[in-house]
Amino acid sequence: MKTVISVLTAHFFVLSAFIWLASPACADRGSDYKAGSDFAKQVQGNGLNSLKNFSGEQNLPGYTDSPDQTKYYGGVTASGDSSLKSDSALEFS
């Protein structure tokens, strides 16, 4: 019975020491949460606004709405890529 009491006493002291040492780390959690919450409220929606206001001409050098390569795209039902093959063969010959 003495060993059980001594083990429980040791656990009590270890747990008490842990709580005492860890309490300063938790003391400021409320203000840290508030700071993070305030920051999130400030930047909320910025990513979506960036996507909505995106302009290829302003952000990508050489961007055009209808590049020369559109002649190679025949849609999802296209049967082949013969024009691409012939143009590439001419380019490398």
The DSSP-derived string for 7-48 is HHHHHHHHHHHHHHHHHHHHTTHHHHHHHHHHHHHHHTTHHH
Q: Is residue 90 part of a domain?
A: no
pLDDT in tens, 19-61: 777 666 665 667 888 888 999 999 888 888 888 888 888 888 9
Q: Is residue 51 part of a domain?
A: yes
Tokens of 41: 């409220």
Query: Model-level pTM?
Result: 0.32
Tokens of 69: 């390569």
* Residue 11 confidence class, pLDDT cut points 50, 70, 90: confident
Q: Is residue 92 part of a domain?
A: no
Query: 67 with 73: CB under 8 angstroms?
Result: no
Q: How many structural domains is the chain composed of?
A: 1
